[in-house]
Chain A
Amino acid sequence: MYKMSSAIGVVIFLLFVAACEYPGIERAVTAELSAGPAGSIGPGARSKDAASSAKPSGNQASSTQQNGSLEKPLPAGDITIMEKDFFLEPETIVVQPGRITFVITNAGKFTHDFRVKGERIDERSQKIGIGRTQRFPLDLREGEYEISCPLSNHADRGMTGRMIVKRPG
């Protein structure tokens, strides 16, 4: 009985010792109560802010090379898409109508999916495992389409984009 009480006492003592957090980690902020990051806050504005802030800067140049422009849409064929946690790269694609094969790579740490939605079309790829690449062919006419990851609430978190299918000129 005495041994058991002692053991319980030691466990409780160790729990309290493990709960000690003092002195913490000093933070490199001088103001006592500084304001949060600049920019819009509040419902609605938040999700867009959060989604864009999660994306690393510097991928813009590489993206624009492969997603075409309104004046010079990419020819139909293979379109490479990277799915990351939680955004698409590129998020805007301009391409010519025809047989388009999305080459989708899951570069994130969670399973993703790919969806193309527009007038008279709503197609989903198979689920794409971590590090996997999947080819997803579709015949697309001229028009504007929404691309996204339809899994869970990934689209709400920022995994959405736009695809414009149009002829050159």
Chain B
Amino acid sequence: MPIDIPPFGARTVIWLFAQQHLYFAAFVLGAPIFIVISEYLGLRTKDLRYERLARETMKMVAVAYSITAIMGVLFSFVLMGPYQGFTNYLMVRFYPVFFAYGLLILLETILMYTYWHSWDALAHRKGLHIGLGVALNLVGTAMMLLMNAVGSFMLTPPEAPEAATLWELVNNATWTGLNLHRFIANLTFGGFMVALFGAFMFLTAKRDEDRAFYDWMGFIGNFIGVGTMMALPIAGYIYARELFLYDASIATLLMADKLSWFFEMQGILVSLLFLGANYYMWLGIQRIDKGWRFLPYFRATFIVVFVGTVIWITPQNFLPDLTSRAEGANLQALAIPERAAFMGLMMAKGLAVTSIIIMTFVSYLLYRRAINTGRIAWGTIDFKAQYALVFLPAVAVYTMGLMGAVRELARQDYHVYRLVQDTSPYWYIPTLGYTSVVVGVNALVFLVLMVFIFFVSFKLGKEG
């Protein structure tokens, strides 16, 4: 390795900047989709809250956009030093893609700042302004598709890439699945960030009308986050299916071998997300007139989420990987008792996850029913609900970091799976413990930066 970066090591530093870039990119790509929808709803319903939500979220996106670009540049620079050969390999094959990506960044920047700064100027030409927002989203999505091509190529390169056309490199076995999964996940991420912002502003607001607005904003952000999150397992399934059809041995690595305990963590994290979402709805329904009537029904939801989680995270055995030998121990002692073995099977886990999703949807239906029969007293929600809106984005950020790491680690000791070996001192799959710490640091750095954005955009130098 020509250059290393002590004391963290080259891989970890690259990991840090790549993950920060991805976090911010998810926000600046996901949020504008519902910013435009919110602006459109404001125009249609004449409800000024939609306009304010769109505008305040866009203000955050404008600041986050610069940080996204800076993290992207830092990621590229730290990658080029230690991994010169590999960077060159990618550049040779994807040069037109990188060039187009650069041009699209320029176009995206022009559209983004025009959209943001023309908000007042085009107040009476809303159609044109919304059109600018739609164009911004189209360019942003195109950028995501281009970089997904490079990322998915590294894990599932086509047969004989030397002879493949650029389109064959781009349209590799998992490009579609990754595109779908990331598109939905960006919406989820954007929704949760808006919920986080709403909670931050609610907790620091001094006026009742502000509290009422940010209560509503947190509700909308959480609604988008949870609503799109329910579609993520389907997108994840499609992506995993593409991956497994490409190479069944990756399935073994992920589900039965070295990365299987990462999926145990995923089970816990996603269950926490659903638990948090239902807890928020349980608290939220209490600020609706006669909403207390629906509280007993939530018991069933919490029981299903709890039981579903237990089934989801029940492993078939307690060995760290396939090659582990239980020296001196009976394998039976490390396996789940035969009577409970069904809980370790994918069929049971699939049913458990489906039950959790359905019951969360039922909670939402109860919430809707409560709204239809009573008035919501915005701003009077229990403060604990706002902490749930901090908890949910924090867990979502951590989950995204962990599962991103799993996708990268699925390449094992290759930069490009089975084509370009990783010959650096960081060629191995790190332990779950180490990965968890790095993902934790990443999540912490990102959340601190987001709070910094909230603070400089809305609090610094302002009263109340």
Contact = CB atoms under 8 A, between A and B. Distances in A.
Whether chain B is bound by chain A comes out as yes
Interface of A: 12, 15-16, 18-27, 29, 31-37, 40-43, 45-47, 49-51, 53-54, 85-86, 109-111, 127, 129-132, 151-153, 156-158
B440 interface: yes
A34 B422 CA distance: 9
Contacts of A33: 85-86, 89, 420-421, 423
Contact of B249 (A15, A25, A47, A132): A47
Chain B interface size, as a band, is 35 or more
3 nearest interchain CB pairs? A42-B159, A24-B425, A50-B249
Contacts of A26: 425
8 contacts: A16-B441, A20-B12, A22-B5, A24-B9, A35-B421, A36-B418, A50-B248, A111-B344
B419 to A, nearest CB: 5
B173 A43 contact: yes
Given A43-B173, A47-B249, A129-B335, A24 B11 contact: yes
A15 B444 contact: yes
B97 interface: no
A46 B248 contact: yes
Nearest to B344: A111
B319 interface: yes
A156 B244 contact: yes
Classify the secondary structure of A's interface with B: loop
Contact of A29 (B160, B248, B421, B441): B421
A132 B8 CA distance: 46
Interface in B1-30: 4-9, 11-12
A111 B4 contact: no
Given A109-B322, A156-B244, A35 B335 contact: no
A41 B419 contact: yes
Contacts of A31: 423
B423 A24 contact: no
A18 B444 CA distance: 14
B331 A15 contact: no
A19 B443 CA distance: 13
Interface stretch (B106-114, B376-384, B426-434): B426-434
Question: Of A40, A43, A127, which is in contact with the most chain B CB atoms at under 10 Å from its CB?
Answer: A43
B338 interface: yes
Contact of A27 (B6, B173, B425, B441): B425
Interface string B156-181: 01111000000000000100000000
B341 interface: yes
Given A15-B444, A22-B7, A42-B160, A54 B425 contact: no
A5 to B, nearest CB: 14
B218 to A, nearest CB: 25
Nearest to A111: B341
A60 B245 CA distance: 28
Contacts of B256: 85-86, 109-110
Nearest to A32: B85
B89 A45 contact: no
Contacts of B419: 35-36, 41
Contact of A129 (B5, B338, B437): B338
Contacts of A27: 413, 422-425, 427
A43 B173 CA distance: 8
A151 B441 CA distance: 38
A21 B89 contact: no
A84 B421 CA distance: 29
B418 A41 contact: yes
B246 interface: yes
B221 to A, nearest CB: 26
B341 A127 contact: yes
B248 A156 contact: yes
A20 B427 contact: no
Nearest to B350: A152
A56 B17 CA distance: 41
A57 B289 CA distance: 71
